[in-house]
Structure 1
């Protein structure tokens, strides 16, 4: 139980700091710590991620950081493609898919690290983006291109989630940084809402299909993740955009290397 609490705190803190890193970290951690199989670990990990993300999204909502229209559009667009990704995953070699996604993650990490340079942060605001804030209302300006771009992000996120069992914040956070002029805090809060919405459907589906996670361990893990989320959100307010971006880049790179190593080992 102590190990589960520690893992839950770590998961929630990472999710609160970066808006990403949930299930992709929680599932292997639970498998290693408890000796569970993937079907056993996945529902517990997803439940903890959803609970932590929902709490973080609510905290961001109170601070008026969440762009709920964008989050709803991405979530609605992603759900149908999750099923499509799951079907494709049954037909394509999983090792090749994991390797390709790992390379994509390493590319994202490299670009994010470069974007964390002070000059890049200072020059971010004038950059032309599809989804721009209205300075008078503080809301995103909507048009056909911006709606299509956000729907595409949601669809791609859903596809990767069904295809590899990962995605979420690792797709949403860098995509919103590239497509919008939102600040990092708003991007993280919006990403958390999308994760909570899409993940809730996954939890319901898992329970519907007979998943019965061990209640005491699962409850402790979920509560610890929620506590870690609160800690991570508090820490994120004290960190500069440069520190958050570099932390996110290092996290993505570490997981990308681990996924690539595992994919190569399986192939060989």
Structure 2
């Protein structure tokens, strides 16, 4: 149990550090399928692991000047307001139904990523190639232009991420990174670093709220979270040398496989 927790936690942290989105959605199935936790038990453990890993990755991105902290704070603020809605809904949802819905969410996320790879050129390309996004960088200052449309778009991304965090305990990175790519022209490294700040904020506060309401985290869960943190730091370093397109293809394949396994276990 301990060894498998360390290996899976480290792998999930590695993906989170590399992509800003990959680790979170795989944390819950790793805990459920690989370590035998129920979906309810896995949620606070996953959020602690994701929150710690994202915080460490965010600090590395901050050191490099990649984090758009104002955009991250906007998304995190609305995400924290919406998270309790998802948490309340999850309490009324049967365990089997939650597992089936989560499997569908993973499959949808992976298929959307595969589809997007047909239109994205590289990790250094602008995230909005036609430069018509709602949140564009000012060529003179290098900062985002804060228009009402920009604020609205960021709030929508944060709300969606917060709802899914409360419902499934996934952190929301797989929503935030594509959302930033859709509404802004931030490059991939900046988008990932900003996403990590949002994930860390929402995940840590959500995990604390669950623990206040009686959720517990076993020692094996803490080892899982610690390994995820170490994996994230390694992933941040490795991201400078790994081709993003190849990584995204591998992540999509792994996510589809995890969705199938999770579905079979839920049924």
Does the TM-score normalized on the shorter chain lie above 0.5? Answer: yes
SS of 1:142's partner is coil
Match of 2:161 in 1: 157
Quick one: structure 1 residues 127 and 252, their matched pair in 2 at CA, closer, same or farther if it must change by over 3 Å? Answer: same
Q: Distance in 2 between matches of 1:101 and 1:187?
A: 22
SS of 1:223's partner is helix
| Cα shift at 1:60 | 0.5
| Cα shift at 1:19 | 0.3
Quick one: structure 1 residues 171 and 253, their matched pair in 2 at CA, closer, same or farther if it must change by over 3 Å? Answer: farther
Match of 1:236 in 2: 239
SS of 2:25's partner is helix
More deviation in 127-136 or 102-111? 102-111
Q: Give the TM-score normalised by the residue count of structure 1.
A: 0.85
Q: How many residues were matched structurally?
A: 263
Deviations 1:180-232 (A, max 9, x none): 111100011011000000001111112212233223x3443233222111110
Match of 1:133 in 2: 137
| Structure 1 unaligned spans of 5+ | none
More deviation in 188-197 or 164-173? 164-173
Q: Give the TM-score normalised by the residue count of structure 2.
A: 0.85
Answer whether contact 1:112 1:174 (CA < 8 A) is retained: no
SS of 1:115's partner is coil
**Which of 147, 155, 177 lines up with 2:181 in the alignment?**
177
Answer whether contact 1:99 1:260 (CA < 8 A) is retained: yes
**Which of 226, 229, 237 lines up with 1:226 in the alignment?**
229
Match of 1:45 in 2: 46
Quick one: structure 1 residues 127 and 58, their matched pair in 2 at CA, closer, same or farther if it must change by over 3 Å? Answer: same
Quick one: structure 1 residues 27 and 234, their matched pair in 2 at CA, closer, same or farther if it must change by over 3 Å? Answer: same
Q: Distance in 2 between matches of 1:214 and 1:99?
A: 25
Q: Distance in 2 between matches of 1:123 and 1:56?
A: 21
Answer whether contact 2:165 2:203 (CA < 8 A) is retained: no
Q: Distance in 1 between matches of 2:12 and 2:170?
A: 15
Match of 2:196 in 1: 192
Q: CA RMSD in A?
A: 2.8
Q: Distance in 2 between matches of 1:17 and 1:116?
A: 17
Q: Distance in 1 between matches of 2:204 and 2:127?
A: 37
Say if 2:10 is the partner of 1:6. no
Answer whether contact 2:17 2:234 (CA < 8 A) is retained: yes
Answer whether contact 1:112 1:249 (CA < 8 A) is retained: no
More deviation in 227-236 or 101-110? 101-110
Match of 2:209 in 1: 205
Match of 2:25 in 1: 24
Answer whether contact 1:74 1:194 (CA < 8 A) is retained: yes
Match of 1:247 in 2: 247
| Cα shift at 1:77 | 1.1
Quick one: structure 1 residues 235 and 181, their matched pair in 2 at CA, closer, same or farther if it must change by over 3 Å? Answer: same
| Structure 2 unaligned spans of 5+ | none
Match of 1:64 in 2: 65
